[in-house]
Amino acid sequence: MLIDNTRTIGVIGGTGKLGAALARRWAKAGLRVAIGSRDAARAAEAAAALTAETGAEVGSGSNAEVAARAGLIVVSVPFASQLATLAEIRDAAAGKILIDTTVPLLPPKVMRVQLPPEGSAAVRAQQALGDAVRVVSAFHNVAAHKLATDEHIACDVLVFGDDRDDRAEVVALADAAGLRGLHGGALANSAAAEAMTSVLIFLNKTYRVDGAGLCITGELDLNAGA
């Protein structure tokens, strides 16, 4: 699928590790990006640094401002901040795809799977936002510190959503970030990838791995998912 690079990708929580890394990868791929933050001044600093590094025009603003300007929204905030952030941008997200990257990690036991009562953070997001917003979830299992570099990352991105075309757009964005995006099925299936994050953290500690990821084995017919 071709990506509409006239549309701005608004990265909410774009000054955090994962949000900043994704914004950087997409800006370097020639996509239009704007960084949102609760602190608009901090977002402006991050955008200016990214512009200086990549030569791309990177926008910035508060979370609500960036969500309003964006054609597609990415939410990259801690689980504890998820609902408050979604409430802040709910009206601006109506009619748009919103990519939720939230993993339900509850410190200090981040190596233990602790899914919310809704079944997953993604389903919780959809319930909070309502049917006017098309929630897709992705980017749960890629190490942010690796994504922040230019190195190739052997990590697949499982993309979950109830609309196949919406998922396909996010699969293409994962590919543009130098990863391999794969359809993972319905939004409810996001529970599997969210839970796997705690398992990966455990593996990192137990086996001294620098950012374990997830790779799907076998000869996949990627055209079948197009």
Sign of CA dihedral 225, 212, 42, 134: positive
Asked if the structure places residue 4 within a domain, the reply is: no
In a domain, 2, yes or no: no
Cβ burial, residue 95 (10 Å; 0-12/13-18/19+): exposed
pLDDT value at 3 more than 90: no
| Residue pLDDT, tens place only, 128-137 | 999 999 999 9
Question: Would you call 68 helix, strand, or coil by DSSP?
Answer: helix
User: Does position 183 have pLDDT exceeding 70, yes or no?
Assistant: yes
Mean pLDDT of the region 168-179: 97
pLDDT at residue 4, as a whole number: 75
Pairwise CA distance, residues 226 & 224, whole Å: 6
Q: Span 17-26, mean pLDDT?
A: 98
Answer whether residue 20 is part of any domain: yes
User: pLDDT at position 17, please?
Assistant: 97
**Is 1 inside a domain boundary?**
no
For residue 1, is pLDDT > 70? Answer: no
Residue 117, domain extent: 9-225
Q: How far apart are alpha carbons 212 and 103 in whole angstroms?
A: 16
Prediction pTM value: 0.96
82-97 residue pLDDT tens: 999 999 999 999 999 9
> What is the average pLDDT score of the chain?
96
CATH number at residue 19: 3.40.50.720
- Count: domains in the chain: 1
Residue 59 lies in a domain: yes
Please check the confidence at residue 6 and state whether its pLDDT lies above 80: no
Identify whether 146 is part of a domain.
yes
